[in-house]
Structure 1
Amino acid sequence: MDLFKDFGKMKAVQKLEQLAQTPYSLTDPTSLPPERIASYRTSACGFDFLYSTQRVDKKVMQTLQELADEACLVEQFKAMKSGAIMNKIIGHESEDRPALHTACRDIFTQTPCASQATAEAKTQLARLQKFLTDLDKGIITNHQGQSFTTMVQVGIGGSDLGPRALYQALKPYCQHGRQACFIANVDPDDAADVLSGIDLSRTLVNVVSKSGTTLETLTNEQLVRSALTAAGLNPARHMIAVTGQGSPMDDPDQYLAAFHMYDYIGGRYSATSMVGGVTLAFALGYENFLELLRGGNAADLAGEQEDITQNLPLLMALLGIWNRNFLGYNTLAILPYSQALLRFPAHLQQCDMESNGKQVSRSGKPVSWKTGPIVWGEPGTNGQHAFYQLLHQGTEIVPAEFIGFRSSQYQQDIVVNNSTSQQKLLANMLAQSLALAAGRPAANPNKSFSGNRPNSLLIADQLTPYSMGALLALYEHKITMQGFCWNINSFDQEGVQLGKMLANRILSELAEKKENTQLPADAPELALLKAANLKNR
């Protein structure tokens, strides 16, 4: 079966283009009856997904199912989980390898989809468990025999955003006396700020780089090594590594311990591998990290359902495609009504835009259809007092995905005006969803709301390690399923390479010792350096 099909040639696409000429209106007084709200709902892995406020009807839903079947989306998803070569461009040089982030979570069955990758994941988990046990038992200590209380993760991109977002989300679950910090930006102020607030003598530094050659990470590593040395500490007793097997960082003389990541797991999909696992398990505890994996695995299983109304990530993906390709909306706002998810939109921004910001199909040809949207977002209710004005009355229609939880994490609340803070938070989320969808006409045009601004609600009981793992994986699968449908490679990131190359050319001019041939006198890099007053020549 040919799984790589051009989006523009599919019969369902042509049907959807016709249906998009007269999409369901959400603004009529009868547009959101109780029966619609009750039936446009699906559940999986602890989450309820409410989508009656999307501009879809039964005919659109039926045709989206036809699109999923025609594009073989579930078959592609299962093939990915089983280790098929999904990271490739046919006929052109590419990474040409599997995308097996799900294997990290497929550890709870005797028959994993990709047995070798899951065996490797189990090996790393066993090493991590032993490392944590040695820390707990005082076998591994600092030079004074004291325990380590802080772990600083040094990495960038997928080695930072996902793990940082998960740690931020699950801080209430931290073990007593444990914390994590993150250094990513090559801006020296980032590292200086983190290092100034911790006790280096009781800190482990976790350097994360698959290749062991990432310039920003190596620079920050050297900065941290210098800080440790200046404090009279031996870096080799305070530093661990997460890297590719055999990389320059896979060196027991330089690191207290080294854990491995693998080529078949892309950076932005690596938070449930050792990339996130080491720091998260240190701070949250090994059992809580396993709960995160269980939640992710539940979402992995949910993605195998053929019926789109029973397959939550696939349904999210198809509604996104309806909004992007057929209704013509260019952006997507992720709006968590949970302060703990402060950094989750930033992670999704990378995961979605680096995955699906592509203009070439897997056949190596330019696409003739829109691919990934611009993704952004902030927590509510803060956003209501910032950018929601544009969401409600701006000329750009921005589909929104709300995320909420029925209960707070800390369970510390107060009743004011007959309602708790959590109730106020959730009431605001539901109200924003209805207001965007239904709108409200008014004689005063400045007070008129046009409505028909599509959105959906994703809600669970509480933000726990399990629900966080499920939420993470639901969005990972939504993104990859959209990539499958658009027939693009969601697992490479060639678009970041040009900027890196030009940065190295500019650095060659700024370096104290010139190791490369100097740039021509008329090079734009030199002109820009001079205009920025960064170099005289």
Structure 2
Amino acid sequence: MGLAKISPVETNAWRELKKHFQENAARTLKERFDEDPDRFEKFSLKVRGLLADFSKNHIDGETLDLLIQLAKDCELDDARAKMFSGELINETEGRSVLHVALRNKSNREIEVKGKNVMPNVNEVLSKMKDFCSKIHSGNWKGYSGNKITDLVNIGIGGSDLGAKMICESLKPFWKEGICVHFVSNVDGTDLSETLKKIDPSKTLFIVASKSFTTQETMTNARSAREWFLQNGGAAESIPLHFVAISTNAPAVKEFGIAADNMFVFWDWVGGRYSVSSAIGLVVAATIGFENFEKLLEGMHTMDEHFRESSFESNLPVILGLIGIWYNNFYGFETEALLPYDEYLHRFPAYLQQANMESNGKSIDRSGRKVTHQTGPIVWGEPGTNGQHAFYQLIHQGTKIIPCDFIAPAKSQNPIGNHHEILLSNFFAQTEALMMGRSEEEVRKSLQGKKTDQEIDFLVPFLCFEGNRPTNSILLPEVDPFHLGMLIALYEHKIFVQGVIWNIFSFDQPGVQLGKILAKKILPELSDSLEVTSHDTSTNGLINAYKRMR
């Protein structure tokens, strides 16, 4: 059996939440804190060192009770159990959703169609460990006898974003003598600029494509192979310099990659949730398998918290419900992810795909058009850079943007008082967004510096309404374990929201139409003939391109 097909708007909890919203929408965050000085203790949770403060939100105990009832009315507990037990909850593709099995450090049995998948998972992990050992020991040598110094991951979407984000986030943990590169865009510039930096005799290409037919990935892989052959490599050396992450053994063999150098994963692993599978090979080879295991342990820790905890003390559930509260009742359409750690600069882009590809749906699980909002627009940049870019809009613009602020308590680079300055901004921004700045405060700050006439003029521009909601997430440090927890936290938040919105979160049919049309257009670009087979706009653009090139 798949997931229940319950429209959230038809539940009693949804009706009660609408009433609750109407009765409480005028209450400000400042008023809530004035009324209840214990909000931080009531509305924060700590899980294995990761602290989430959600007290600066438009919620009270009744709000959470109603939101939790909504989760129960939508049978979230049943959906959670079905995911962890391997039931076919990705119904449009007839698949289980078992990224949690990839980091199942308890090794408890998890079955797909009656077969325990853990022996296969462990076999691939063992093969990855052996691969990393050969790379790091220098036993894996290139065609000239040199050890491998550069890894180039060729993939796109889920075969790129997660691995790239983790490698960037864990740069202090890179193995000495290893440099990693990522090529994803089919724009030749991406590959060309990477090839300028590497020596073919010391480079290993990791081609990540489940089908081994993905247009962008295979175009880049074939061009990389051609470059390799034109710059000292030979056909018989390809197995020394190319490995594959795929399920298509014949295509991998045809490319020239040895069968032993193919790392498999399974159809129950969605691309955007695949970084803990063999897709994470480049991560393991960059940070060392021992650190990759710590990453998996962090993910598993959050998986178990999500699986076992009651909704009232379940961090992915609570953050998911707060997101629904804003998206569906307040009408806030975007949310910003603002990591105060430069190593996490790719985290917003990674979660952009994870969230928007999962929950960017408008058809419910019964095949009907939804009558409620689903996935939000997700975006963000690291602090403090963002403060000098778009925070103006967050503070004083006409759009309310709930924000997640993320920071480590310890820096991997403790230079002078840099980290204290960074964290002072982290704390100050959430306080400023909540408290704002009153006319009285503005006038007081300008007294003695401006004339009364100048003050009267400036006051409207310098007042801040405040009342902007935020979550704050504090990690002990950005290390493999806590990064794994953070990733799994947001993965499960996305799952929670998709279940309640009554949509399928683990397919992505919207990605396909553009690909289909691109394949039709590609042969039309090979000559100079006028194109008339599309709408007038597309025809005009193609013909203009042909004249320009």
Give the shorter-chain TM-score range.
Answer: over 0.9
Which region of structure 1 is more displaced relative to structure 2, 501-510 or 46-55? 501-510
In structure 2, what is the equivalent of residue 207 of structure 1?
207
1:315-326 to 2 correspondences below 5 Å: 315-326=318-329
Cα contact 2:245–2:265 (8 A) shared by 1:
yes
In structure 2, what is the equivalent of residue 152 of structure 1?
152
* Gap change, CA 1:40 and 1:12, over 3 Å in 2: same
RMSD: 2.2
Cα contact 1:356–1:483 (8 A) shared by 2:
yes
**Structure 1 Cα separation of the partners of residues 18 and 427 of structure 2:** 30
**Structure 1 Cα separation of the partners of residues 81 and 32 of structure 2:** 42
Find out whether 1:527 has 2:540 as its counterpart: yes
In structure 1, what is the equivalent of residue 246 of structure 2?
243
Find out whether 1:499 has 2:496 as its counterpart: no
For 2:31, what is the secondary structure of its paired residue? Answer: coil
In structure 2, what is the equivalent of residue 413 of structure 1?
415
**Structure 1 Cα separation of the partners of residues 154 and 9 of structure 2:** 42
Tell me which of 39, 48, 62 is aligned to 1:59. 62
Find out whether 1:96 has 2:94 as its counterpart: yes
In structure 1, what is the equivalent of residue 455 of structure 2?
none
* Gap change, CA 1:521 and 1:239, over 3 Å in 2: closer
1:97-496 to 2 correspondences below 5 Å: 97-112=95-110, 116-234=116-234, 235-246=238-249, 248-249=251-252, 253-255=256-258, 257-276=261-280, 278-410=281-413, 412-414=414-416, 420-442=417-439, 444-496=459-511
Tell me which of 30, 37, 40 is aligned to 1:27. 30
**Structure 2 Cα separation of the partners of residues 97 and 247 of structure 1:** 23
Cα contact 1:186–1:220 (8 A) shared by 2:
yes
Supply the AA of the counterpart residue of 1:51. F
1:232 Cα deviation from its structure 2 partner: 1.0
**Structure 1 Cα separation of the partners of residues 80 and 196 of structure 2:** 45
* Gap change, CA 1:522 and 1:326, over 3 Å in 2: closer
Cα contact 1:48–1:458 (8 A) shared by 2:
yes
Which region of structure 1 is more displaced relative to structure 2, 279-288 or 497-506? 497-506
In structure 1, what is the equivalent of residue 449 of structure 2?
none
* Gap change, CA 1:374 and 1:28, over 3 Å in 2: same
For 1:228, what is the secondary structure of its paired residue? Answer: helix
TM-score by length of 2: 0.91
Supply the AA of the counterpart residue of 1:529. I
Cα contact 1:337–1:426 (8 A) shared by 2:
yes
Supply the AA of the counterpart residue of 1:462. E
**Structure 2 Cα separation of the partners of residues 127 and 289 of structure 1:** 13
Cα contact 1:65–1:307 (8 A) shared by 2:
no
Cα contact 1:20–1:326 (8 A) shared by 2:
yes
Cα contact 1:251–1:258 (8 A) shared by 2:
no
Which region of structure 1 is more displaced relative to structure 2, 212-221 or 20-29? 20-29
Cα contact 2:8–2:70 (8 A) shared by 1:
no
**Structure 1 Cα separation of the partners of residues 485 and 525 of structure 2:** 46
1:34 Cα deviation from its structure 2 partner: 3.8
1:194 Cα deviation from its structure 2 partner: 1.1
In structure 2, what is the equivalent of residue 91 of structure 1?
none
Supply the AA of the counterpart residue of 1:100. L
For 1:28, what is the secondary structure of its paired residue? Answer: helix
**Structure 1 Cα separation of the partners of residues 282 and 277 of structure 2:** 11
* Gap change, CA 1:458 and 1:505, over 3 Å in 2: same
- Indicate the percent of aligned positions where both proteins have the same amino acid: 38
1:251 Cα deviation from its structure 2 partner: 5.5
In structure 1, what is the equivalent of residue 452 of structure 2?
none
The count of aligned residue pairs is: 522
**Structure 1 Cα separation of the partners of residues 535 and 14 of structure 2:** 49
Cα contact 1:151–1:205 (8 A) shared by 2:
yes
Which region of structure 1 is more displaced relative to structure 2, 70-79 or 518-527? 518-527
1:138 Cα deviation from its structure 2 partner: 4.0
Supply the AA of the counterpart residue of 2:477. Q
Cα contact 2:244–2:257 (8 A) shared by 1:
no
1:442 Cα deviation from its structure 2 partner: 1.7
Provide Cα deviations, 1:322-366, integer angstroms capped at 9, x if missing partner. Answer: 110111100000000010001010010000000000000011111
**Structure 1 Cα separation of the partners of residues 99 and 81 of structure 2:** 13
For 2:406, what is the secondary structure of its paired residue? Answer: strand
**Structure 1 Cα separation of the partners of residues 317 and 329 of structure 2:** 17
**Structure 2 Cα separation of the partners of residues 51 and 536 of structure 1:** 54
**Structure 2 Cα separation of the partners of residues 342 and 161 of structure 1:** 12
Cα contact 1:152–1:205 (8 A) shared by 2:
yes
**Structure 1 Cα separation of the partners of residues 143 and 528 of structure 2:** 37
**Structure 1 Cα separation of the partners of residues 174 and 107 of structure 2:** 28
1:439 Cα deviation from its structure 2 partner: 1.4
Cα contact 2:200–2:232 (8 A) shared by 1:
no
1:536 Cα deviation from its structure 2 partner: 8.6
Supply the AA of the counterpart residue of 2:463. S
**Structure 1 Cα separation of the partners of residues 93 and 17 of structure 2:** 34
Supply the AA of the counterpart residue of 1:534. K
Supply the AA of the counterpart residue of 1:421. H
**Structure 2 Cα separation of the partners of residues 222 and 51 of structure 1:** 48
* Gap change, CA 1:457 and 1:389, over 3 Å in 2: same
Supply the AA of the counterpart residue of 1:260. V
Supply the AA of the counterpart residue of 1:465. P
**Structure 1 Cα separation of the partners of residues 313 and 74 of structure 2:** 18
Cα contact 2:306–2:492 (8 A) shared by 1:
yes
Supply the AA of the counterpart residue of 1:520. S
Supply the AA of the counterpart residue of 1:82. S
1:86 Cα deviation from its structure 2 partner: 1.1
**Structure 2 Cα separation of the partners of residues 182 and 340 of structure 1:** 16
Cα contact 2:407–2:474 (8 A) shared by 1:
yes
Provide Cα deviations, 1:105-147, integer angstroms capped at 9, x if missing partner. Answer: 1133344576723222111111111222233444421122221
1:285 Cα deviation from its structure 2 partner: 0.6
**Structure 1 Cα separation of the partners of residues 397 and 35 of structure 2:** 23
In structure 1, what is the equivalent of residue 453 of structure 2?
none
1:435 Cα deviation from its structure 2 partner: 1.1
For 1:507, what is the secondary structure of its paired residue? Answer: helix
* Gap change, CA 1:219 and 1:519, over 3 Å in 2: farther
Which region of structure 1 is more displaced relative to structure 2, 1-10 or 338-347? 1-10
Cα contact 1:25–1:31 (8 A) shared by 2:
no
For 2:29, what is the secondary structure of its paired residue? Answer: coil
Structure 2 unaligned regions, length at least 5: 441-458
**Structure 2 Cα separation of the partners of residues 451 and 521 of structure 1:** 50
1:521 Cα deviation from its structure 2 partner: 7.8
* Gap change, CA 1:251 and 1:43, over 3 Å in 2: farther
**Structure 2 Cα separation of the partners of residues 372 and 488 of structure 1:** 10
* Gap change, CA 1:183 and 1:122, over 3 Å in 2: same
Provide Cα deviations, 1:234-269, integer angstroms capped at 9, x if missing partner. Answer: 333210000125462255843471101211111111
Structure 1 unaligned regions, length at least 5: 89-93, 415-419
Supply the AA of the counterpart residue of 2:268. Y
Q: Tell me which structure has the larger Cα radius of gyration.
A: 2
In structure 2, what is the equivalent of residue 18 of structure 1?
19
**Structure 2 Cα separation of the partners of residues 403 and 307 of structure 1:** 24
Which region of structure 1 is more displaced relative to structure 2, 352-361 or 194-203? 194-203
